[in-house]
Chain A
Amino acid sequence: MSTDAPAEPKSEIGEINKYNFRTETTGVFKAKKGINREIVNQISDIKGEPDWMREFRLRSLEIFESKPMPKWGGAIDIDFQDIYYYLKPTDHQGKTWDDVPQEIKDTFDKLGIPEAEKKFLAGVKAQFESEVVYGSLEEDLAKKGVIFTDTDTAVREHPELLREYFGKIIPPEDNKFAALNSAVWSGGSFIYIPKGVSIDFPLQAYFRINAESMGQFERTLILVDEGANVHYVEGCTAPMYSTESLHSAVVEVVVKRNARCRYTTIQNWANNIYNLVTKRAYAYGDATMEWVDGNLGSKLTMKYPAVHMKEPGARGEILSIAFSSAGQHQDAGAKLVHEAPNTTGQIISKSISKNGGRSSYRGLVAVHPGAHNSKNNVVCDALILDPESRSDTYPYIEISEQDVQIGHEASVSRIGEEQMFYLLSRGLSEQEASTMIVNGFIEPLVKELPMEYAIEMNRLIQLQMEGSVG
C-alpha cells in the first residue's frame, strides 16, 4: 500500500497541490454501485441501527425518488446509479492516530490534521469515505459533559437527545438532496454543548473523499444548550478523478437561548465533485448563529446556509466567500428567516470569478408576520477577473411585516488597470498583484477567521490564482 500514487490527470487549473493525491486502500466493505432499497437496508444492517432509523431511511428513499431535481442553481448531470453510496474504510474508529490504519493516517498527516490538533484544536473528527476513522476531544471538555462524536455512535449512545432533533430542522421532504442524504447518510458529527459551557478553541471535522465515484453523505447535528458557546470548523478535500462524484451533506444546528454557535466551512473539493449541501440552524432567544462559508473547490456547489430566528433577540449572520475558476459554478448564498420580533440578520457575500468560472449569489430574506422591529442587511460584492467569467445575483425578499429595517447593497467590480499598474510599478508580478487584490477583496471576511484558517484561506486563494494569469 502506498499513499503516493500520482493523481492523474491533473486538473486544468493546475491544481498540483497538496490535496490532490490518492491513497491506495482496500477498505473493509464497499456496497455495490447504485441506490435502491437493498442498498439502504444493507447500510442500516451494517450499522446495526434501530428500526426507527431504518424506517426513516426507507421513507427518505421514497421521497428522494419522487422529488424532481431542483429547478434553480446549476446544471446537475449525475447518474445516481453510477455512484458508490457506502464504503467502510476500516473496522473501528481510532482514539489515537496510531489506532488508524497507516495509509489513512498518512493521508491526514499530509493534510496537516494531527499537527493542527496539537496546536489549536479542542477536538477533531476525521472522516474517510463513509466513516469517521478518528475522533478526539479534550478530556476536561468531556468531563464538563460536552459530546463530540460521530453521528452513528450518537444513534447508539445518545438516542433520546439525537432523536429529538434529528431530521426535525431539515426533514427529508425539504429537497431532493436532503432526502438522498437521509436515505444513505453515514458519518458526520454529533455535538452537544451543555448549558453555560464555552469552548475557547474550535472543534474541527475533516471530510476526505478518496475513492473514485464515491459519494459522501455525512450528517451533522449540533446542539448548543442555553448560554453555551462553540466554534465548529469543517474542511473538505478529494483527489481529482476523471469521473464525477457527489458530496451531499445535511447539517442541522440548534442554538438555545443566549447561546452562540459559529460554523466555519472551508470547502476545497476537487473540481469534479457536485457539492449539494443543506445547512440550517434554529436560533432561539438572544442566541447567535453564524455561518462562515468558504467555497473554493467543486464542480458545482449549491449551498445556502440558513438561520431561522425563532425567538426575540435572536441573531443570524452569514459570511460567504465563493471562488469559481474554469469549469466551476458556485451557486452559494444564504437564507435568513425572521420568525420573531427584534431579531437581527446580516449577510455578507463576496464572490470571485476567473477563467470562465461562474459565481452566483442566491439569497432569501424573509420576515414573518409579527416579527416587528427586525433588522436585516445584505451586502454582496462580486469581483470578476476576466471577460470569460460570470457573476449573478438572485436576491429574494419576502416581507410580511411593516415595522422592519431592510438593507441590500450589491456591487460588481473588475480589477482596474490603474490598481494593477500601481502594484506592478512596485515590483509585484501580474500574478502577485492580482492575488493581492483578490485577497484584499475578501479581507473583510477573512479577518473574521481564526488566524490559522485565515492563512489557509489566503493560501487557497493563491493556489486558485496560480498558473492561470494570461
Chain B
Amino acid sequence: MTHVLKIEDLHVSVGDKPILRGVNLTINHGETHALMGPNGSGKSTLGLAIMGHPGYEVTSGSITLDGKDVLEMGPDERARAGIFMAFQRPMAIPGVKMADFLRHATTNVRRPDRKEGEELIPMREFRKELREKMEHLRMDSEFARRYVNDGFSGGEMKRAEILQLAMLQPKFAVLDETDSGLDADAVRLASESIADIGHQKMGLLIITHHDKLLEHNPPEFTHVMLGGRLVETGGKELAVELHQHGYDRIRKAYPDAEALNQKLLAEDAEEALA
C-alpha cells in the first residue's frame, strides 16, 4: 500500500486572522512536490498546520494520513505516525545535547507504542548510526555534543534539520526553506543530502526560492500559493518558469488572491510598527 497524505479544503487561522483559505493537496509516498509562492502567501503556515503547531488553528477542512484523521493527533503523535517538518526557523534548546535529543526522538518515532520511561534505543547502536549519518552529511562529530540549535549559524541549523530527517526517516516531510541562508557549496551539499535521504523514498513537500534544491530533487508537481490558496499546479517546468520570471504572471492571473496576499502583508507591516 502506498501511503497518502491528503489535505482537503483546509482553512487555517492565526488568532482570528484567516491565513489559508481552502487548500487541496494530495501527496503520495515517493512523490516530490514543490511549493512556491511569494512571501507571506502561507507556505510555512501550511507546513505548521500539517505538523500541528498549536498557534495555527484549523477552522475547517481535513488532513488525513492513509485515511486516518491527522487533526485529531498532537504534534508528537503526528511525528510518530511518520510526518516531519524541517523548520524555517528551528528552536534552540539550551543545555540539551543533539545526541540525547535525537536518541529520544529516534526511539519514539521508531517505536510509536513505546511507553514513557521504557528503554531508549541502546546507546552503542544509536551512536554508531548517528556517527554514520553525520559522516555521510559531512558533519563534524563534535556536533552531536553541542546543544540543540544553541549558538548554531543559520547553515548549521539547516544541516541539523537534515540530520534529523535522516535519523527519523519519516513517510512525509515538509522542508521549509531548508536551502536558504546557505552559501553555494552548502546549498549543493544540502540538495544532494536531501536527494539521497528522501527523494523518491518519502513524500516530499519542498518549499524553496532557489533552483538548486529542485534540480537535485526534481518535483513531479509544482504548486503555487498566493493569498492562502494553491492557485496553480503544474509539473517541473512551472518551477523553472517561476525561478526565471518570478511571480508577475501569477499575480496578474489571480487578482483576488493577490489582493488577499497584499492585505496580509500590509497587516504584517502594521503589526510590526505597532
List residues of A whose CB falls within 8 A of some B CB.
416-419, 421-433, 436-437, 439-444, 466
Contact = CB atoms under 8 A, between A and B. Distances in A.
Contacts of A427: 76, 79-80, 104-105, 108-109, 112, 168
Nearest to B170: A427
B164 interface: yes
A429 B55 contact: no
Which of B52, B76, B85, B108 has the largest number of chain A CB atoms within 10 A? Answer: B76
Contacts of A424: 52, 74-76, 79
Interface string B78-117: 1110001101001111111000110011001100100011
13 contacts: A417-B54, A422-B90, A422-B91, A422-B93, A423-B101, A424-B52, A424-B79, A426-B105, A428-B108, A429-B76, A429-B108, A436-B93, A440-B147
Contacts of A444: 95
B51 interface: yes
A426 B95 contact: no
A425 B79 contact: yes
Contacts of A441: 94-95
Given A424-B75, A429-B108, 18 more contacts: A417-B54, A418-B91, A419-B92, A419-B93, A421-B54, A422-B90, A424-B74, A424-B76, A425-B79, A427-B80, A427-B104, A430-B76, A431-B116, A436-B96, A440-B147, A441-B95, A442-B95, A466-B117
B127 interface: no
Interface in B119-133: none
Contacts of B51: 425
B95 A439 contact: yes
A443 B52 CA distance: 29
A443 B55 contact: no
A441 B76 CA distance: 22
B191 to A, nearest CB: 23
B144 to A, nearest CB: 15
Interface in B234-255: none
Contacts of A418: 91
Given A425-B51, A426-B105, A440-B95, A432 B75 contact: no
B53 interface: yes
B101 A436 contact: yes
A467 B75 CA distance: 20
Nearest to B81: A427
Interface string B193-209: 00000000000000000
Contacts of B147: 440, 443
Contacts of A466: 117
Given A424-B76, A425-B79, A425-B85, A432 B94 contact: no
Nearest to A458: B100
A53 B226 CA distance: 86
Say whether chain A's binding surface is mostly helix, strand, loop, or mixed.
helix
Nearest to A445: B95
Contacts of A443: 94-96, 147
Contacts of A440: 93-96, 147
A464 to B, nearest CB: 14
A309 B147 CA distance: 35
A422 B160 CA distance: 13
A462 to B, nearest CB: 8
Which of A417, A424, A426, A431 has the largest number of chain B CB atoms within 10 A? Answer: A426
A436 B98 CA distance: 11
Contacts of B108: 426-429, 432
Contacts of A429: 76, 108, 116
Nearest to A438: B95
A436 B52 CA distance: 20
Contacts of B85: 425
Contacts of B168: 426-427
B178 to A, nearest CB: 15
B116 A425 contact: no
A428 B95 contact: no
A332 to B, nearest CB: 20
A284 B55 CA distance: 57
Nearest to B110: A427
Nearest to B90: A422
A309 B180 CA distance: 54
A432 B116 contact: yes
Interface string B30-70: 00000000000000000000011111000000000000000
A441 B101 CA distance: 14
Nearest to A423: B93
Contacts of B80: 427
The 10 A-B pairs at the shortest CB distance, nearest first, are namely A440-B95, A443-B95, A427-B108, A427-B79, A440-B96, A426-B105, A422-B91, A424-B75, A427-B109, A424-B76
Contacts of B94: 440-441, 443
A428 B164 CA distance: 13
Contacts of A439: 95-96
A432 B91 contact: no
A419 B148 CA distance: 11
Which of B52, B53, B80, B104 has the largest number of chain A CB atoms within 10 A? Answer: B104
A440 B109 CA distance: 22
Contacts of A423: 93, 101
A422 B105 contact: no
B79 A426 contact: yes
B128 to A, nearest CB: 20
A415 to B, nearest CB: 10
A424 B75 CA distance: 6
A444 B96 CA distance: 10
A271 B84 CA distance: 42
